[in-house]
Amino acid sequence: MEASSANERLHFGKMGYGCQHYRRRCKIRAPCCNEVFWCRHCHNEASSLLKNPMDRHEIVRQGVKQVICSVCDTEQPVAQLCSNCGVNMGEYFCAICMFFDDDTEKEHFHCHDCGICRVGGRDNFFHCKKCGSCYAIALRDNHLCVENSMRHHCPICYEYLFDSLKDTTVMKCGHTMHCECYYEMIKRNKYCCPICSKSVIDMSRTWKRIDEEIEATVMPEDYRHKKVWILCNDCNDTTEVYFHIIGQKCSHCKSYNTRTIAPPILPH
């Protein structure tokens, strides 16, 4: 009976406390401002709303020293079990990140190379040394590495990607962004990376359609033999091609994802 009672106390309130970000049975005291929040995301969101920009700041997760048990309201040094009531304040607990979460279905794991906890199961991810982040196993030897590609903001919503709670994707060019932002971009018929302007999907059918449109659209005599210098966003080659109002085709990779770097010389 005593073992059963201890076990019940340990799991009391599981999944019954927490915020929109995590289910946990404790709050943290922010070492930067001494205020109490459910998690660092709650702190950062509240801080971003402060009227004075100079007062806005983000918490350093490893700097958290004190937590408050949500069951008995006891403040204490960071630990998995409450020193007063014995409740487990988080089924998953990382003493490096000072991180608690009762939702073990997320399959948390701590990546020592990233220096933070991630979700999705350790066996499903690998750490890319050059990109500086964990990626899904499917991307091992199957992505273009860009040094520290995850340590920047999503080019669409501008949230910092490295420790974002949202899923991310690696584009053909190697740059990263949120999955939901990527699909929204594609839905809006935007097919170029917002960072480097390379095509992010196979555009061969589109280029063929443009070929047909150009063939069917004869330019006026004054423009018919004019040439322009173009830079291809897909292969970075610079070539001189015939000017056409519909588009300029790269002579090297046959892409129409190009930009004019020298305008056509027109007759006086």
Residue finishing a domain among 187, 204, 231 = 187
Q: Tell whether 195 is covered by a domain.
A: no
The structure tokens 């839905």 sit at 187
Q: Number of folded domains in the chain?
A: 3
Asked if the structure places residue 196 within a domain, the reply is no
Query: Which range marks the domain in which residue 247 is found?
Result: 215-262
Q: Are residues 249 and 159 in the same domain?
A: no
Same domain (yes/no): 33, 49 = yes
Query: Tens digit of pLDDT for each residue in 141-194?
Result: 889 999 988 989 999 999 999 988 888 999 999 999 999 999 999 999 999 999
How far is the CA of 147 from the CAs of 80, 128, 131, 157, in angstroms? 36, 10, 5, 21
Q: Residue 6: its pLDDT value, please?
A: 74
Residue 244 included in any domain? yes
Query: Are both 114 and 45 inside the same structural domain?
Result: no
Instruction: Looking at the structure, tell me whether residues 155 and 247 fall in a common domain.
Output: no
Predicted pLDDT at 224: 84
Same domain, 113 and 182: yes
The pLDDT assigned to 225 comes to 87
* Same domain? 102 vs 119: no
The pair phi, psi for residue 86, each rounded to 5°, is 80, 5
Going 115 to 118 to 124 to 130, the CA torsion angle's sign is: negative
- Residue 144 CA to residue 138 CA, distance in Å, equals 13
